[in-house]
Amino acid sequence: MTISTARVPEAMEPLFERAEEYVRRYFDTRKESPQEGVIVIGGERYILVRAASMSVSFFEHIKALYPGLNESEASKVTGSVLFDIAHALGVSDARAFHETLKVTDPIEKLSTGPIHFSHTGWAFVDILKESRPSPDVNYYLIYDHPQSFEADSWIVKKKKADFPVCSMNAGYSTGWCQASFGVELATREILCRAKGDKYCRFIMGHPSKIEGYVEKYKGENPELFGR
C-alpha cells in the first residue's frame, strides 16, 4: 500500500498506512442533507467554511476594524487570534478522533492528524526525515504544508505577505500533536509561500526549546532565508 494523503519518513510509513485506512473509512461515512443544512461524518456534524474567509479576508477585516494598529501590529494580533482558535480546534478534534478510532499510542495518534488534514482540506502534510517526535521536552517535528489553504488564499488573490500567514495550520497541527503526545508544544512557521518562499515550513517543539530549534535550522540553511 502506498500512502497518498501525506508524506512521511520511511520508518513511519507502516503506522501512516494504517491511519490512512482508518481515516478513509471514517470519511466514507459522509452524508449531506442541504435540505436540513447538515453535513455528518462519522456521526459528527461538520461545517464548510470558505478558505479565504479564514485567512486573507480575515487579516483585511481586522486591519479595517482596528485602524489604530499599524501593519505589523494588526498582522500579529490577527495571527495570534487565528492560532489560538485553531489550536483549540486541533486539541478538541484530535481527542474526539482518537476516541472514535480507539487509538492510544502517541505516534499512532499523531499519524491520524496529517491524514485528517488532507481529508478536511487544510493542507497536505510532508513530515521531514529530521523529525524526532517523542512524548517529552525533546519533541521535534519539522514539516511542510505544500497546499496550505492559507497560503493558497493569498496567492490566488495575488497578495504577497511580509509575514508567515499560516497561523491556523500552525495552531491546528500544534493542538493535534499536543493532544496526541500529552506534552506542551509550540510551532513556528519559518518559511511561507505567501511571502514568496518555496515552502510553507514549520518547526514544532517544546516551548523551552522552540526558539533554539528555529535559530539552529536558520543557521544551517542560510540559503533559504536570503542570508
Helix (H) or strand (E) holding 46: strand 44-46
Which residue intervals of 133-207 are DSSP H helices?
Answer: 149-156, 167-181
How far, in Å, CA of 134 to CA of 141, rounded? 9
pLDDT computed for residue 227 by the predictor:
57
Q: Is the pTM for the entire model greater than 0.85?
A: yes
Q: Please write the tens of the pLDDT for every residue from 94-144.
A: 999 899 888 889 999 999 999 999 999 999 999 999 999 999 999 999 999
CA 199 to chain centre: 14
Positive or negative torsion for Cα 115, 117, 121, 127: negative
pLDDT computed for residue 164 by the predictor:
96
**C-alpha cell recorded at residue 48:** 464548510
What are the two backbone dihedrals, phi and then psi, of residue 39, each rounded to the nearest 5 degrees?
-125, 125
Q: What is the DSSP letter of 21?
A: H
| DSSP three-state, residue 197 | coil
**Domains in the chain with CATH codes:** 48-225 (3.30.1380.20)
For range 1-15, the mean pLDDT: 90
